[in-house]
Chain A
Amino acid sequence: MESANLREQIKYQKLFVGIILASFTHELRNHLAVVKESSGLQQDMIALEGSVKDLSGLVQTLQTVDEQVDNALQLTSFLNRFAHRMDNEEAYFSVAEVLDELMVLVSRLARQRLVALDTDFSEVVPPVVGDPANLQMLVFFLLDEKIRNLPRESSILIRIVAAQGGAMITIASQGDGLEDAEQGSRCPREVLHSVARGMEAEIIDGEGTQETGIFLRGAW
């Protein structure tokens, strides 16, 4: 029974990493595509005119290339940090840092669904103990469920607050709720509860389907 549970967890962990990597590589390809076309356009202009006649156009192109490279670098930094979250199954970590990474990698999925992601990580909360990669998976699937089922132009507020010596992450949707939910969730709730139990965390569903919380125990 236990190994069946573990297999289920691994299946959804792989799904989570796969979705993040697909979204990340897609975004990276977009940045590279802009760089390629910008460089190609300048080559076209030089081939057409025999020399660089439009210097301001060239400067603008170089600025665009610069911006795209910066965007791609930022994205790869977050992906690198995301990968290193899997180094240790139990670690002391800052919840805000772990969620910051996730937000960058998830924002594209939300944008495609025209759902706004707002965060409030301003409250000082103690570091927590657990598996940061599993926490990212939990928050991802809870967020993903809302993103996939909310109507367009909705928003989701993710907050971190101190609670009982640990931290509470709340994910609250602001829109018409999930009444017209058709897409369901990509990960069954019992798998998420099982992952949460494994790190001594708890998923707490609020009234209706608008708000979900994850309680994490403090490190001390």
Chain B
Amino acid sequence: MNRKRSIRVLLVDDERAFVDTLARRLTIRNLQVNVAYDGEQALSRLQKNAPDVMVLDLKMPGIHGFEVLKRARAQAPLTQVVILTGHGSDGDAAIVSELGGFGLLRKPADIETLVRKICEASHASRAHA
């Protein structure tokens, strides 16, 4: 539980009602959560204070999630990126892996599955530090 408390997560999604509610649920589960509502905001947060894990939507106004993922991996290589998207193409998972993403979950995801993925990603992030 203590280890989980120290995991810093940045949630990135333009659907405010979704991301704000999910942030509360993850906070209840002892994660340190911050939110960004588009790709630009996310990259700016990343520059100031890189989290352990970024949970990122793909289809957002402005910069597409793939571009955010690419830039995030270059800007903050220790931050692991989990894609959480309602977009269903099989090709997406391959692109995510090619761009260095940690994994892809379909939205809506089971909360415990998401927490487990975040913990695994955080573990990978710390192992690379």
Question: Which residues of A come within 8 Å of B, CB atoms?
Answer: 22, 25-27, 29-30, 32-34, 36-38, 40-41, 44, 48, 64, 68, 111-114, 152
Contacts and interface: CB of A to CB of B under 8 A. Distances in A.
A105 B64 CA distance: 20
A41 B19 CA distance: 12
B17 A34 contact: yes
B62 A152 contact: yes
A30 to B, nearest CB: 5
Contact of B25 (A25, A29, A40, A113): A40
Interface residues of B, number: 21
Given A26-B87, A44-B25, A33 B15 contact: yes
A25 B15 CA distance: 15
A68 B21 contact: no
Contacts of B24: 41
Q: At the interface, is chain A mostly helix, strand, loop or mixed? A: helix
Contacts, number: 60
Q: Which 7 residue pairs of A and B lie closest in terms of their CB atoms, listed nearest first?
A: A29-B86, A33-B108, A37-B21, A36-B108, A26-B86, A34-B18, A34-B17
Interface in B27-43: 28
A38 to B, nearest CB: 6
Given A26-B87, A29-B86, A44-B25, A34 B61 contact: no
Contact of A41 (B25, B86, B107, B108): B25
B76 interface: no
Contacts of A37: 18, 21-22, 25, 108, 111
A33 B86 CA distance: 9
A208 to B, nearest CB: 27
A107 B86 CA distance: 17
Contacts of B59: 26, 112
